[in-house]
């Protein structure tokens, strides 16, 4: 491992992100390496100085803008409208097996329904064709009196 690798480990160690198992190797290397020791010292001192720094003051103009924002936004978002939007965004959780079962049942229903519908339609077509091909006399014999009105 190079010094760069060890210095990356130092960086992780300082952030509490280095695996405990690697710490022993790291400190064994540091004890004999001036460059890595210097990097560690510099990183620690940098952190100390940054920790002492005061946070910048939030400007009053930002507070004022946020106050205005809250007033404006609430005015344009009436409760009823928001509730409808909430309802549209409502999420429900469905167990995967139940979802699969429902999908299969739906698919089967569609397939069976479609098949039955197609069979019925083709049956009707065949019957109508047969009736139309019959001679006039025979048609009168089997069709109801108001057959002409129907057609």
Site residues (CB under 8 A) for other proteins?
4, 7-8, 11-12, 15, 17, 34, 37-39, 41-43, 45-47, 49-53, 55-56, 58-59, 61-63, 65-67, 69-71, 73-74, 77, 79, 82, 85-86, 89, 91
The distance of closest approach from Cβ of residue 123 to other proteins in the complex, given in angstroms and rounded to an integer, is: 53
Identify which of residues 58 and 137 has a Cβ nearer to other proteins in the complex: 58
User: C-alpha distances in angstroms, 40 versus 1, 18, 53?
Assistant: 17, 14, 20
- Distance CA(30)–CA(41), nearest Å, equals 11
Identify which of residues 50 and 94 has a Cβ nearer to other proteins in the complex: 50
Identify which of residues 26 and 39 has a Cβ nearer to other proteins in the complex: 39
A 10 A CB-CB count for 27 gives 14
Give the torsion sign (CA, 104, 110, 116, 122). Answer: negative
The distance of closest approach from Cβ of residue 94 to other proteins in the complex, given in angstroms and rounded to an integer, is: 17
The distance of closest approach from Cβ of residue 14 to other proteins in the complex, given in angstroms and rounded to an integer, is: 8
Identify which of residues 55 and 137 has a Cβ nearer to other proteins in the complex: 55
The distance of closest approach from Cβ of residue 60 to other proteins in the complex, given in angstroms and rounded to an integer, is: 10
3-state helix, strand, coil in the chain (%, to 5): 80, 0, 20
Give the torsion sign (CA, 139, 142, 147, 151). Answer: negative
User: C-alpha distances in angstroms, 85 versus 24, 78, 88?
Assistant: 57, 11, 5
Identify which of residues 2 and 133 has a Cβ nearer to other proteins in the complex: 2
């Amino acid at each position: 491992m190079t010094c760069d690798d060890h210095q990356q480990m130092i960086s992780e160690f300082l952030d509490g992100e280095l695996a405990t198992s690697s710490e022993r190797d790291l400190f064994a290397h540091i004890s004999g390496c001036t460059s890595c020791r210097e990097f560690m010292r510099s990183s620690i001192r940098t952190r100390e100085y940054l920790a002492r720094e005061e946070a910048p003051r939030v400007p009053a103009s930002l507070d004022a803008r946020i106050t205005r924002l809250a007033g404006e936004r609430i005015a344009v978002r009436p409760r009823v409208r928001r509730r409808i939007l909430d309802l549209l965004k409502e999420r429900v959780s469905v167990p995967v097996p139940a979802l699969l079962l429902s999908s299969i049942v739906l698919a089967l229903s569609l397939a069976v329904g479609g098949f039955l519908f197609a069979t019925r339609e083709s049956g009707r077509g065949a019957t109508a064709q047969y009736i139309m091909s019959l001679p006039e006399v025979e048609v009168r014999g089997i069709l109801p009196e108001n057959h002409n009105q129907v057609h």
